[in-house]
C-alpha cells in the first residue's frame, strides 16, 4: 500500500468553524490531490499540488484553500465550514512523471458539518 | 472539456455470472482511461488503466477492459463474479494534465 495517511479520519464540526484536514505521504511523490466524494457525483477534484508551494484549483474549489510547505504534507482548509461541505474527503498522490501515472488514494476523512 | 459517463448506478449479478460495467467518455482526442474500485469504508485502488499501448487491458482480480475508440467506450468486464467483487467501481479519464475526472460510480452487488 502507498504510504498515505489522512488525519483526522472522522470529524464533526459546526457551521462557521474552520477545519483543516491533513494528508501525509512517505513516497516523496510530486503530485498531491484533494477530492471530495458525494453520492451520485463520484469523486470531484478540489485542489491539487505539483510541488512545494505549487498548487492549483480543481473543479469544486470554492470555500476551500490548500497549502503545501513540505513535500510530504498537503493541507486542506475549510475557512468557514458549511453544511454543503459535509462529505468524505480523499487525498491522493502520484509520481507526476507522466499523465498515465497511477493515483494512489488515502483512507479518507469523513467530515460532518452540523 | 472531457467527461465520463457510467451507465447504471447499481448492478446486481449472481455469483459466477458475467460482470459488465459500462463507461463512455467524451473527448476530442484519445484520453487515458482508468478503472478504480472502492471497497466499503476504504479509499480507491487501481484495477487497470489504458495508456494507448494495447486496446485490451488486463487488471487485477480477473478484471479486464477494452478501449473502443469508435464507440468512445472503456467497459469493464469479469467473466465470473465472486462475492468479494461487491464494491463501487469508478471509471476515470485523464488528458495530459495529471488530473482525473471521475464518473459517478457503479455499485456492484453479488447474489449468492
Q: State pLDDT tens for residues B5-51.
A: 999 999 999 999 999 999 999 876 668 899 999 999 899 999 999 98
Q: Are B112 and B16 in contact (CB under 8 A)?
A: no
A106 touches B: beta carbon within 8 Å: yes
Q: Name the residue among A18, A20, A11, A19 with its Cα closest to residue A112.
A: A11
DSSP letters of B75-103? Answer: EEEESS--GGG-EEEEEEEE-SSS--EE-
Closest by Cβ to A105, choosing from B44, B51, B105? B44
Provide, as residue numbers in chain B, all residues whose Cβ is less than 8 Å from the Cβ of A105.
36, 43-45
Q: pLDDT digit string (tens) for B63-84?
A: 999 999 899 999 999 999 999 9
**Nearest Cα to Cα of residue A68 among A57, A58, A55:** A55
What's chain A's average pLDDT?
Answer: 95
- Look up residue A32 and give its three cell numbers: 498531491
Cα angle value A89/A45/A82 (rounded, 5°) = 55
Residue A5 CB-half CA count within 13 A = 5
First to last CA, chain A: 33
Q: Over 60: is that where the pLDDT of B87 sits?
A: yes
SS3 A12: strand
Amino acid at each position: 500500500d502507498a504510504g498515505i495517511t489522512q488525519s483526522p479520519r472522522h470529524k464533526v464540526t459546526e457551521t462557521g468553524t474552520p477545519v483543516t484536514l491533513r494528508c501525509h505521504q512517505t513516497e516523496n511523490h510530486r503530485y498531491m490531490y484533494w477530492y471530495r466524494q458525494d453520492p451520485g457525483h463520484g469523486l470531484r477534484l478540489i485542489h491539487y499540488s505539483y510541488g512545494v508551494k505549487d498548487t492549483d484549483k480543481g473543479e469544486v474549489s470554492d470555500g476551500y484553500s490548500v497549502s503545501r510547505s513540505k513535500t510530504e504534507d498537503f493541507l486542506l482548509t475549510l475557512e468557514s465550514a458549511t453544511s454543503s461541505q459535509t462529505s468524505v474527503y480523499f487525498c491522493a498522490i502520484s509520481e507526476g512523471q507522466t499523465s498515465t501515472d497511477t493515483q494512489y488514494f488515502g483512507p479518507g476523512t469523513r467530515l460532518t458539518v452540523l | 472539456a472531457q467527461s465520463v459517463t457510467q451507465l447504471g448506478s447499481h448492478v446486481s449479478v449472481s455469483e459466477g455470472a458475467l460482470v459488465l460495467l459500462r463507461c463512455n467518455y467524451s473527448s476530442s482526442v484519445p484520453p487515458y482511461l482508468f478503472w478504480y474500485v472502492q471497497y466499503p469504508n476504504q479509499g480507491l485502488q487501481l484495477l487497470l488503466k489504458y495508456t494507448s499501448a494495447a486496446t485490451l487491458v488486463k487488471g487485477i482480480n480477473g478484471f479486464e477492459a477494452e478501449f473502443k475508440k469508435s464507440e468512445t467506450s472503456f467497459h469493464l468486464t469479469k467473466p465470473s463474479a465472486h462475492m468479494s467483487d461487491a464494491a463501487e467501481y469508478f471509471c476515470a479519464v485523464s488528458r495530459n494534465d495529471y488530473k482525473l475526472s471521475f464518473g459517478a460510480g457503479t455499485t456492484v452487488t453479488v447474489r449468492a
